Amino acid sequence: MSELNTQLRELRERFDAAVAAAQDAQALDAARVAFLGRSGEVTLLRRGIGQLPAAERPSAGKEINAAVELMEAALQDAEAALQSREFEAELGMRIDVTFPAPPAALGAIHPLRRVTEDICRYFQRHGFAVVLGPEIEPEYYNFDALNIPADHPAREGFDSFFLTGNLLLRPHTSPMQIRTMQQHRPPVAVVVPGRCYRRDAVDARHHFQFHQIEGLLVDRGVHFGHLKGMLTGMCRELFGRDQQVRFRPSFFPFTEPSAEVDTTCPLCRASGSPCRMCGGSGWIELGGSGMVHPNVLRNMDYDPAEYSGWAFGFGVERMALVRYDIDDIRRFYENDPAFLKQLA
């Protein structure tokens, strides 16, 4: 046993020297393999146990195992010391706190939502409430209550997505006019933003999903002049103080009289020069408007002799195309980071 103790002592001295000389993790691992690895010096020493007398073999194995435990503990201590030195070296690095930091990657409001919020804020300042409604509605709210009975040809123009015999994806936000008037007596002043759906072929100006914002005012003494004033102010807030607004006679089943609303082209300013946005006409169509039809008021138990009202419905994408000078409605749905960053 004295010979084995001498071998273990010499082995431990060489091991300690190798560990002390290791300046990085790679050198420390090399020392572990050389002494404690599968073909290391400790393994060779264990193979010699078989040559000892049978009575000495158990104690010899215990001596070697005890030495291995001490060597492994020394390796762990050396590894912890190395990590501590590396950490302290990192802390000791000089940092120039005056050097500009990289810009933060911040998101932005989508242009369609920004246009919607700007319009809602304009009407809220004038006493209107913002209301939201379901995107799946029965025919009654989409058509019947809006003076569009089942045999009316105007239904075909809505190109609706029917889910069942009676339920459909709303083709406009007008159902919320009916729901609001069912729940409240005049005066009623609401603006209704939301998604709508129609079976349109997708191209630069049309999409099967689009956003609409609708307004409704019903009270005593409401007339067409109030509608013209509100929509003119809205256009000037969105597109600039010099915007002009015109009303062209049109037909909608739920308003009478009815008018299409146009605003001066913000790109060419009606200069008469060729313009890719308005085609040289100098005007951009925004949507429909008019005085609420007496039949719609009667359907809500409002007396048309006592109350009158106006309503309008504009496409948000159409206004965003004009406001941001975009040539294709599909760009709003492609989620191109570069495009959205330009409009942020």
> What is the 3-state secondary structure of the chain?
CHHHHHHHHHHHHHHHHHHHHCCCHHHHHHHHHHHHCCCCHHHHHHHHHHHCCCCCHHHHHHHHHHHHHHHHHHHHHHHHHHHHHHHHHHHCCCCCCCCCCCCCCCCCCCHHHHHHHHHHHHHHHCCCEECCCCCEEEHHHHCHHHCCCCCCHHHHHHCCEECCCCEEECCCCCHHHHHHHHHCCCCEEEEEEEEEECCCCCCCCCCCEEEEEEEEEEECCCCHHHHHHHHHHHHHHHHCCCCCEEEEEEEECCEEEEEEEEEECCCCCCCCCCCCCCCCCCEEEEEEEEEECHHHHHHCCCCCCCCEEEEEEEEHHHHHHHHHCCCCHHHHCCCCHHHHHHHC
| The pLDDT value given to residue 174 | 92
CA angle 282, 288, 289 (to 5 degrees): 115
Same domain? For 40 and 119 the reply is no
CB 205 within 8 A of CB 143: no
Same domain? For 205 and 305 the reply is yes
Which of 45, 63, 91 is the endpoint of a domain?
A: 91
Task: Quote the CA–CA distance of 31 and 17 in Å, as a whole number.
Answer: 10
CB 315 within 8 A of CB 285: no
Task: Quote the CA–CA distance of 337 and 321 in Å, as a whole number.
Answer: 18
Same domain? For 62 and 177 the reply is no
| The pLDDT value given to residue 121 | 96
| The pLDDT value given to residue 13 | 82
Task: Quote the CA–CA distance of 139 and 149 in Å, as a whole number.
Answer: 9
The residue segments making up the domain with residue 42 are 2-91
The answer to whether residue 202 is domain-embedded is yes
| The pLDDT value given to residue 222 | 94
Task: Quote the CA–CA distance of 211 and 232 in Å, as a whole number.
Answer: 21
Same domain? For 83 and 118 the reply is no
The answer to whether residue 136 is domain-embedded is yes
The answer to whether residue 98 is domain-embedded is no
Same domain? For 65 and 160 the reply is no
What six digits make up the tokens of 34? 């050389």
| The pLDDT value given to residue 269 | 66
| The pLDDT value given to residue 271 | 65
Same domain? For 38 and 78 the reply is yes
Same domain? For 6 and 152 the reply is no
Which of 91, 120, 150 is the endpoint of a domain?
A: 91
Same domain? For 172 and 25 the reply is no
Same domain? For 191 and 69 the reply is no
Same domain? For 115 and 153 the reply is yes
> In 10 A of CB 252, how many CB atoms?
21
The answer to whether residue 100 is domain-embedded is no
The answer to whether residue 106 is domain-embedded is no
The answer to whether residue 54 is domain-embedded is yes
Same domain? For 142 and 22 the reply is no
CATH number for the domain harbouring residue 129: 3.30.930.10
Same domain? For 239 and 322 the reply is yes
pTM value is 0.66
The answer to whether residue 146 is domain-embedded is yes
The answer to whether residue 105 is domain-embedded is no
Instruction: Per residue of the chain (344 residues), give pLDDT as tens.
Output: 567 777 778 878 888 888 888 888 888 888 888 877 877 777 777 777 777 777 777 777 788 788 878 888 888 888 888 888 877 776 666 677 788 888 887 788 889 999 999 999 999 999 999 999 999 999 999 999 998 888 778 777 778 888 988 899 999 999 999 999 999 999 999 999 999 999 888 887 778 899 999 999 999 999 999 999 999 999 999 888 888 899 999 999 999 999 999 888 777 766 666 776 677 778 888 899 999 999 999 999 999 999 999 999 999 998 888 888 887 888 888 888 888 888 77
| The pLDDT value given to residue 2 | 64
Counted domains in the chain: 2
